[in-house]
């Protein structure tokens, strides 16, 4: 299981700052949410994406996932190609009626050799429904992600969630941990971690703030001083992720 | 002079990874007869076992003054010098 | 095991191999577990193992006090093998031994 830092914990941190924060706090990987200051998003070219993946690898940090908030972007062929260049799955929240969108996306991801993870809150009925989509799609094209909040109803029954998911969960986002750990007593975190261990879960577990008001605490915990790179010049060996629209 | 020296250590705000060295350092700095009054946010029974293993069964008393549910307080009374002190010059 | 075999037989075979193959690493990352839940979770996980099985404890400091606790509460019944010893991450394989 790879403990992962979500860019949601430091949305204004550069890609390099995120990698440094991961190293400082012993994270094995980073979850990149599109729109944050790391600059990785579907509008970034494949070369820049590969360069980012390479830079992360040199730092010994994996890229756990690229998280997108617009589910419609999964049917844009650039998205799975970006995922393949990053060496990471795309994660999108599944809310509302998106069956046809996901059905259209699956062959695109299969063709690109990438994976789309469907994120839900762990409701076992919903997982059953999503399992149907996953198992009907080309092998490896689709999978599951679980967004879990300490104290919610699903964290109380982690074994049931994992059993319903039948091994398809590859990524978990936990709202908490980090500087919030000590304040999350009695909310099911211990039982969740034990269930993950006993099930042999080998995916990623990303930590993200449970509330925007904790962002300052996360920044401090990650080693931010004043601002990320505040007052410091970017080094010449820093890769700048350029945002540009790629001609198709 | 027989006033009991009491070192009060509240490790609740301290990150878990820094607590062990802090607690053992405070204990080792005690003279025999002195007390470490430890305040912590979980049952410190692992410290009890650590002291048993590193100091010896008879080297200390370990008494709970508060047993949760949120905070624990134990009074650790040093009865004998720490093994390191014994090994050094008397 | 041929796919047509009865589901119960498949399950029996899976259990004989261990429902999680010993090639699978069980990792318990305690860094995100709140202080009061930490040791109870570790011991609950340990007790859920069958003899011969193990899990890897992942922590941000050397879990020496835990080891002493195992020695007093489960003497001779556990294995303790450091896989990584810092400076940022410690990994210890804790195995369940004996009957």
pLDDT of residue C20: 60
> pLDDT tens, A77-93?
999 999 999 999 999 99
Phi, psi dihedrals of residue A212, rounded to the nearest 5°: -55, -25
pLDDT over 90 at A242, yes or no: no
**What number is the average pLDDT over the span A212-222?**
95
**pLDDT for A169:** 98
- How large is the average pLDDT for residues C86-95? 97
With CA atoms as reference, the chain B residue closest to C64 would be B50
Q: Does the pLDDT of residue A204 top 80, yes or no?
A: yes
- CB atoms C72 and B50 under 8 Å: no
**What's the gap between Cα B42 and its chain centre?**
15
Give the integer Cα–Cα distance in Å for C79 and C71.
Answer: 10
For C29, the enclosing helix (H) or strand (E) is: strand C27-29
For the entire predicted model, the pTM comes to 0.88
Average pLDDT over residues C40-69: 97
Number of CB atoms found within 10 A of residue A32's CB: 27
Residues of C with CB under 8 A from a CB of B: 35-36, 38-39, 59-62, 64-66, 68-69, 71-73
- Taking an 8 Å cut-off on Cβ atoms, the answer to whether A200 and C35 are in contact is no
pLDDT exceeds cutoff 90 at C18:
no
pLDDT at A106 over 70: yes
Residue A237 has a pLDDT of 33
What band does C8 get if pLDDT is binned at 50, 70 and 90? very low
Compute and round to an integer the Cα radius of gyration of chain A: 18
DSSP B3-51: PPPEEEEE-TTS-HHHHHHHHHHHHHTPPTT-EEEEEESS-THHHHHHH
Residues of A in contact with C59 (CB under 8 A): none
How many beta carbons lie within 10 A of that of residue A159, not counting itself? 14
Residues of C in contact with B24 (CB under 8 A): none
Q: Mutation test of the interface with chain C: which of A1, A182, A190, choosing the one with the most C Cβ atoms within 10 A?
A: A190
pLDDT of residue C98: 84
Which of A193, A199, A206, A209 to substitute to test the interface with C, most C CBs within 10 Å?
A193
The answer to whether the peptide bond before residue B69 is cis (omega within 30 degrees of 0) is yes
* Residue C72 distance to chain B (closest CA, Å): 7
CA–CA gap between residue A58 and residue A78 (Å, rounded): 25
A89 vs C17, residue with greater confidence: A89
Q: What is the pLDDT of residue A226?
A: 72
């Amino acid at each position: 299981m790879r403990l992962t830092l979500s860019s949601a914990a430091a949305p204004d941190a550069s890609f390099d700052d995120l990698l440094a924060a991961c190293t400082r706090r012993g994270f094995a990987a980073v979850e990149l949410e599109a729109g944050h200051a790391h600059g990785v998003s579907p509008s970034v070219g494949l070369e820049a994406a590969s360069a980012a993946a390479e830079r992360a690898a040199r730092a010994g940090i994996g890229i756990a996932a690229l998280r997108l908030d617009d589910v419609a972007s999964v049917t844009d062929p650039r998205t799975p190609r970006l995922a393949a260049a990053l060496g990471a799955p795309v994660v999108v929240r599944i809310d509302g009626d998106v069956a046809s969108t996901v059905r259209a996306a699956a062959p695109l991801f299969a063709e690109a050799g990438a994976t789309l993870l469907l994120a839900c809150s762990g409701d076992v009925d919903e997982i059953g429904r999503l399992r149907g989509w996953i198992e009907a799609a080309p092998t490896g094209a689709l999978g599951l992600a679980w967004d879990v909040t300490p104290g919610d109803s699903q964290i109380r029954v982690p074994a049931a969630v994992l059993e319903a998911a039948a091994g398809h969960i590859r990524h978990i986002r936990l709202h908490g941990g980090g500087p919030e750990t000590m304040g999350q007593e009695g909310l099911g975190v211990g039982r969740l971690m034990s269930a993950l261990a006993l099930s042999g879960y080998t995916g990623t577990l990303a930590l993200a703030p449970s509330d925007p008001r904790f962002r300052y605490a996360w920044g401090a915990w990650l080693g931010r001083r004043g601002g990320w790179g505040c007052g410091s010049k970017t080094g010449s060996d820093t890769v700048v992720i350029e945002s540009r629209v790629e001609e198709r | 002079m027989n006033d009991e020296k009491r070192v009060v250590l509240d490790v609740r705000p301290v990150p878990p990874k820094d607590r062990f060295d802090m607690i053992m350092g405070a204990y080792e700095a005690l003279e025999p007869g002195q007390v470490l009054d430890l305040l912590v946010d979980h049952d410190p029974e692992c410290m009890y076992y650590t002291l048993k293993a590193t100091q010896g069964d008879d080297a200390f008393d370990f008494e709970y003054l508060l047993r949760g549910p949120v905070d624990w307080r134990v009074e650790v009374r040093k009865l004998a010098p720490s093994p390191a002190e014994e090994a050094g010059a008397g | 095991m041929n796919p047509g075999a009865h589901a119960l037989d498949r399950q029996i075979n899976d259990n004989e191999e261990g429902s999680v193959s010993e090639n699978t690493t069980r990792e318990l990352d305690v860094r995100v577990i709140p202080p009061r839940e930490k040791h109870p979770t570790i011991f609950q996980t340990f007790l859920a193992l069958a003899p011969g099985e193990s899990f890897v404890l992942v922590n941000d400091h050397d879990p020496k006090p835990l080891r002493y606790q195992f020695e007093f509460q489960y003497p001779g019944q556990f294995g303790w093998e450091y896989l990584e010893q810092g400076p940022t991450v410690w990994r210890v394989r804790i195995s369940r031994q004996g009957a």
